Amino acid sequence: NQHFREVSTTVWCVIVLTCMAMGLLTLLAISKNVDEQAGRREPSALTATLMAAAPALHAAPMLCMVFLAGRMRVLQLTDNLGEPPIWVKAAMIGATACAVTHAVLVLLSPTIIGSHAKSDPQCGAPDIHHVINAPEEHYSQRYSVALLRAMLAVLMNVCFAVVCFGICTFQYSRVRAGKAPPVSPAVGCTLLL
């Protein structure tokens, strides 16, 4: 009779962030191909919205790497038996929730503010500030969306900092020889990225 530990918070957060990023980027690639095959010179509303949401995914790989580095550090110090403190787990979940909520908010913003994302005619890159160009009757919605996006970004960075702090300060009472080894160069470099 074998006993398996439940899936760690780190792995769940990495799975969620990876699925979100791969799902959005796959939809974007399909949408761009459909636009191209249809001979459109301008991206469709769906493509423009997905292009505007793509920058919201930039934090996902870094969050995944820091979460995994933290998990490796805990396993190093606990002979593969320990878990990070509950406050570090909560920060991982918080950062993941902020990243997912931010991407969903960007995807829903055309519906909320009544304005589709526009692309820059010079380079084709999405104009992520399409919220500012929303119709005047959606004044409160566009600034609410902008404020919520800013708050999510700040909260995600705070959660990220908490995870980094937890990695560097994690102590385990049964560490060999009574003293925890220093943070390894690999984990340190990952935190600095």
Each residue of 37-53: pLDDT tens digit?
Answer: 999 888 888 888 888 88
Collapsing DSSP states into helix, strand and coil, what is residue 174?
A: coil
User: Looking at residue 192, what is its pLDDT?
Assistant: 76
Using CA atoms of 131, 132, 137, 141 in order, give the dihedral in degrees to the nearest 10: 50
Q: What is the pLDDT of residue 178?
A: 59
pTM (2 d.p.) = 0.80
pLDDT at position 131, please?
47
Per-residue model confidence (pLDDT) at position 7: 86
**Interior CA angle at 8 toward 53 and 189, to 5°?**
65
Longest Cα–Cα distance in the chain: 68
Q: Calculate helix-pair angle for 59-77, 139-169, nearest 10 degrees.
A: 20
Q: In a 3-state reduction of DSSP, which class is residue 172? A: coil
For residue 173, the model assigns a pLDDT of 61
State the first-to-last Cα distance of the chain, in angstroms, to the nearest integer.
43
Q: Model confidence over 144-172: pLDDT tens digits?
A: 888 898 999 999 999 999 999 988 888 76
pLDDT at 100: 94
Report residues of the chain scoring pLDDT below 50: 123-126, 128, 130-132
* Cα(125)–Cα(6) distance, integer angstroms: 43
The confidence score (pLDDT) of residue 79 equals 78
Is residue 91 within 8 Å of 177, Cβ to Cβ?
no
What are residue 126's phi and psi, to 5 degrees?
-70, 145
Cβ–Cβ under 8 Å, residues 115 and 131: yes
Mapping DSSP onto H, E and C, the string for 39-95 reads CCCCCCHHHHHHHHHHHHHCHHHHHHHHHHHHHHHHHHHCCCCCCCCHHHHHHHHHH
pLDDT for the residue numbered 27: 94
CA distances from 143 to 44, 65, 119, 137, 189 (A): 25, 33, 20, 12, 38
